[in-house]
Structure 1
Amino acid sequence: RPSCSATTALISLGSLLLLVCGLWLLVTIFWLQAPSNRTGGGDGSRALPEPQACGVVPEAWRFDCYPERGVVVTRELCEARNCCFIPASSSPPAPGRNGVPWCFYPPGFPSYSLVSVNATDLGQTGTLVKTVKTYYPKDILTLQLELLYETDNRLRVRITDPSESRFEVPIAVPKATEKASSPAYSVELSNEPFGIIVKRTSTGAVLLNTTVAPLFYCDQFLQLSSSLSSQYIYGLGEHRSSFLHDIHWNTLTMWARDVAPTELTNLYGVHPFYLAMDEGGTGTAHGFFLLNSNAMDVVLQPGPAITWRTIGGILDFYVFLGPDPASVIGQYLEVVGYPAMPVYWALGYHLCRWGYGSSNATWDVVKNMRNYRIPQDVQWNDIDYMDRSLDFTFDPTAFSTLPDMVKDLHSHGQRYVMILDPGISSVQPEGGYWPYDEGLRRGVFINHTDGSTLIGKVWPGLTSFPDFSDDVTHEWWYDNLKRFHDKVPFDGLWIDMNEPSSFVDGSTVGCPDTELENPPYTPGILGGLLRAKTLCASAVQKTSSHYNMHSLYGLLEAKASARALKRMLGKRAFVISRSTFPSQGQYSGHWLGDNRSHWKDMYTSIAGMLTFNLLGVPLVGADVCGFSEQTEEELCVRWTQLGAFYPFTRNHNSIDQKPQDPPAFSPAACSAMKQSLLLRSSLFPLLYTLFHRAHTHGHTVARPLLFEFPKDVRTYGIDRQFLWGKSLMVTPVLDPGVDYVVGYFPQGLWYDYYTGDSIRSKGEELRLKAPLEHINLHLREGAVIPTQRPNTTLFVSSGQPLHLVSSLSEDGSAGGELFWDDGESIDTFETDQYAHVVFTVNTMTSEVLHDHVEASYITVETASFYGVKVEPTRVMVNSHDAAFTYRANQVRLGVRSQRLSQPYSQ
Structure 2
Amino acid sequence: MTSYQKLNTSVPPEAGDEAADEKPLCHQKLSAWWLGGGLLMVAALLSGVTVWVLGQIWWSQHKVFPLPKCASIPENLRFDCYPERGTVVTRELCEKRGCCFVETDRPIGRARGVPWCFYPPDFPSYSLGSMNETQMGMVGLLTRQTKTYYPSDIEKLQLSVEFETDTRVHVKIIDATSPRYEVPLDVPRVAKRAENPVYTVEFSKDPFGLIVKRRTSGVVLINTTVAPLFFADQFLQISTLLPSTFLYGLGEHRSNFLHSLEWTTLTFWARDVPPMESCNLYGVHPFYLVMENGGDAHGVFLLNSNAMEVALQPAPALTWRTIGGILDFYIFLGPDPNLVVQQYQQVIGFPAMPPFWGLGFHLCRWGYGTSNETWEIIKAMRNYQIPQDVQWNDIDYMDGYRDFTVDPQKFGTLPQMVEDLHKHGQHYVMILDPGISSTHPPGSYWPYDEGLKRGIFINTTQGKLLIGKVWPGLTAFPDFSNPNTHQWWLENLNRFHALVPFDGVWIDMNEPSNFMDGSQEGCSQGELDSPPYVPAVMGGFLPAKTICTSARQSTSVHYNLHSLYGLMEAKATASALIKIRGKRPFIISRSTFPSQGKYSGHWLGDNRSEWKDMIWSIPGLLSFSLFGVPLIGADICGFSGSTSEELCIRWMQLGAFYPFTRNHNTQIEKAQDPIAFSPAARTAMKEVLETRYALLPFLYSLFHRAHLQGDTVARPLFFEFPKDVATYSIDKQFLWGRGLLVTPVLDPGMDSVIGYFPRGIWYDYYTGSSVNSSGESLKMAAPLDHINVHLREGTILPTQKPASSTSVSRRNPLRLIAALSQNANAWGDLFWDDGESLDTFEKGDYSYLVFNVTQNTFISTVLHSNVEASYIMVEALTVYGVRDEPKRVTVNGKEAPFSYLKNQVLSVNNLQLNLSHGFSIRWM
> Could you state the TM-score of these two structures normalised by the residue count of structure 2?
0.93
The residue correspondences of 1:601-640 to structure 2 (distance < 5 A) are 601-640=613-652
Match of 1:91 among 70, 86, 106: 106
1:193 partnered with 2:210? no
TM superposition shift of 1:51? 3.5
Give unmatched runs, 5+ long, in structure 2. Answer: 1-15, 24-36, 45-54, 920-924
- Aligned letter for 1:276? V
Q: Distance in 2 between matches of 1:897 and 1:433?
A: 60
Corresponding residue of 1:844 = 858
Asked if structure 2 preserves the Cα contact closer than 8 Å seen for 1:859 and 1:904, the reply is no
Match of 1:387 among 384, 395, 399: 399
- Aligned letter for 2:250? L
Asked if structure 2 preserves the Cα contact closer than 8 Å seen for 1:882 and 1:897, the reply is no
Corresponding residue of 2:145 = 131
Give CA-to-partner distance per residue, 1:668-723, whole Å, 9 cap, x none.
01100000001000000000000000000100000000000000000000001000
TM superposition shift of 1:217? 0.2
Q: Distance in 1 between matches of 2:430 and 2:600?
A: 15
Q: Distance in 2 between matches of 1:620 and 1:543?
A: 30
1:572 partnered with 2:606? no
Asked if structure 2 preserves the Cα contact closer than 8 Å seen for 1:877 and 1:900, the reply is no
1:461 partnered with 2:461? no
Corresponding residue of 2:75 = 59
The residue correspondences of 1:54-453 to structure 2 (distance < 5 A) are 54-88=70-104, 90-93=105-108, 95-279=109-293, 282-428=294-440, 432-453=444-465
The residue correspondences of 1:679-694 to structure 2 (distance < 5 A) are 679-694=691-706
Asked if structure 1 preserves the Cα contact closer than 8 Å seen for 2:876 and 2:911, the reply is no
Aligned with 1:707: secondary structure? helix
Q: Distance in 1 between matches of 2:640 and 2:589?
A: 19
Distance change >3 Å, CA 666–CA 897, structure 1 → 2: closer
Give CA-to-partner distance per residue, 1:806-831, whole Å, 9 cap, x none.
00011211110000000000100111
1:757 partnered with 2:769? yes
Match of 1:895 among 882, 893, 908: 908
1:878 partnered with 2:878? no
Provide the alpha-carbon RMSD of the alignment.
1.8
TM superposition shift of 1:6? 8.3
Distance change >3 Å, CA 210–CA 903, structure 1 → 2: closer
TM superposition shift of 1:904? 3.2
Bigger shift: residues 141-150 or 847-856: 847-856
Q: Distance in 1 between matches of 2:61 and 2:546?
A: 40
Asked if structure 2 preserves the Cα contact closer than 8 Å seen for 1:446 and 1:454, the reply is yes
Aligned with 2:76: secondary structure? helix
Asked if structure 2 preserves the Cα contact closer than 8 Å seen for 1:801 and 1:901, the reply is no
TM superposition shift of 1:739? 0.2
TM superposition shift of 1:656? 2.1
Q: Distance in 2 between matches of 1:103 and 1:190?
A: 24
Corresponding residue of 2:660 = 648
Match of 1:553 among 565, 568, 572: 565
Give CA-to-partner distance per residue, 1:520-568, whole Å, 9 cap, x none.
1000000011000000000000110000000000000000000000011
Aligned with 1:432: secondary structure? coil
Q: Distance in 1 between matches of 2:650 and 2:622?
A: 19
Distance change >3 Å, CA 45–CA 565, structure 1 → 2: farther
Match of 2:526 among 514, 529, 534: 514
Distance change >3 Å, CA 46–CA 234, structure 1 → 2: farther
- Aligned letter for 2:310? V
Distance change >3 Å, CA 757–CA 110, structure 1 → 2: same
TM superposition shift of 1:45? 13
Corresponding residue of 1:33 = none
- Aligned letter for 2:73? V
Corresponding residue of 2:821 = 809
Aligned with 2:884: secondary structure? coil
Corresponding residue of 1:495 = 507
Distance change >3 Å, CA 246–CA 370, structure 1 → 2: same
Give CA-to-partner distance per residue, 1:16-60, whole Å, 9 cap, x none.
xxxx9xx99xx9xxxxxxxxxx999xxx99976433200111000
Give CA-to-partner distance per residue, 1:72-103, whole Å, 9 cap, x none.
11111111111111012x3322x223410000
> Could you state the TM-score of these two structures normalised by the residue count of structure 1?
0.95
Aligned with 2:877: secondary structure? strand
Distance change >3 Å, CA 130–CA 761, structure 1 → 2: same
Give CA-to-partner distance per residue, 1:574-618, whole Å, 9 cap, x none.
000000000000000000000001101001100000100110000
1:673 partnered with 2:685? yes
TM superposition shift of 1:873? 1.1
- Aligned letter for 2:98? N
Distance change >3 Å, CA 6–CA 105, structure 1 → 2: closer
Q: Distance in 1 between matches of 2:291 and 2:648?
A: 35
Q: Report percent identity of matched pairs.
A: 63
Q: Distance in 1 between matches of 2:62 and 2:814?
A: 75
TM superposition shift of 1:115? 1.6
Bigger shift: residues 219-228 or 804-813: 804-813
TM superposition shift of 1:431? 5.8
Corresponding residue of 2:611 = 599
Q: Distance in 2 between matches of 1:832 and 1:855?
A: 13
Q: Distance in 2 between matches of 1:96 and 1:539?
A: 29
Q: Distance in 1 between matches of 2:644 and 2:821?
A: 41
Q: Distance in 2 between matches of 1:426 and 1:900?
A: 61
Asked if structure 1 preserves the Cα contact closer than 8 Å seen for 2:874 and 2:911, the reply is no
TM superposition shift of 1:850? 1.0
TM superposition shift of 1:901? 5.2
Aligned with 1:523: secondary structure? coil
Corresponding residue of 1:13 = none
- Across the two proteins, how many residue pairs are aligned to each other? 872
Corresponding residue of 1:589 = 601
TM superposition shift of 1:131? 2.8
Asked if structure 2 preserves the Cα contact closer than 8 Å seen for 1:858 and 1:904, the reply is no
Distance change >3 Å, CA 300–CA 462, structure 1 → 2: same
Corresponding residue of 1:704 = 716
Aligned with 1:844: secondary structure? strand
Match of 1:536 among 543, 548, 572: 548
Q: Distance in 2 between matches of 1:298 and 1:650?
A: 32
Q: Distance in 2 between matches of 1:63 and 1:293?
A: 24
Corresponding residue of 2:5 = none
The residue correspondences of 1:700-849 to structure 2 (distance < 5 A) are 700-842=712-854, 843-849=857-863
Aligned with 2:898: secondary structure? strand
Distance change >3 Å, CA 46–CA 806, structure 1 → 2: farther
Aligned with 2:842: secondary structure? coil
Q: Distance in 2 between matches of 1:304 and 1:724?
A: 31
TM superposition shift of 1:883? 1.3
Q: Distance in 1 between matches of 2:227 and 2:217?
A: 25
Q: Distance in 1 between matches of 2:310 and 2:208?
A: 21
- Aligned letter for 2:82? Y
TM superposition shift of 1:177? 1.2
Asked if structure 2 preserves the Cα contact closer than 8 Å seen for 1:730 and 1:778, the reply is yes
TM superposition shift of 1:858? 3.0
Aligned with 2:840: secondary structure? coil
Q: Distance in 1 between matches of 2:790 and 2:21?
A: 51
Q: Distance in 1 between matches of 2:858 and 2:474?
A: 65
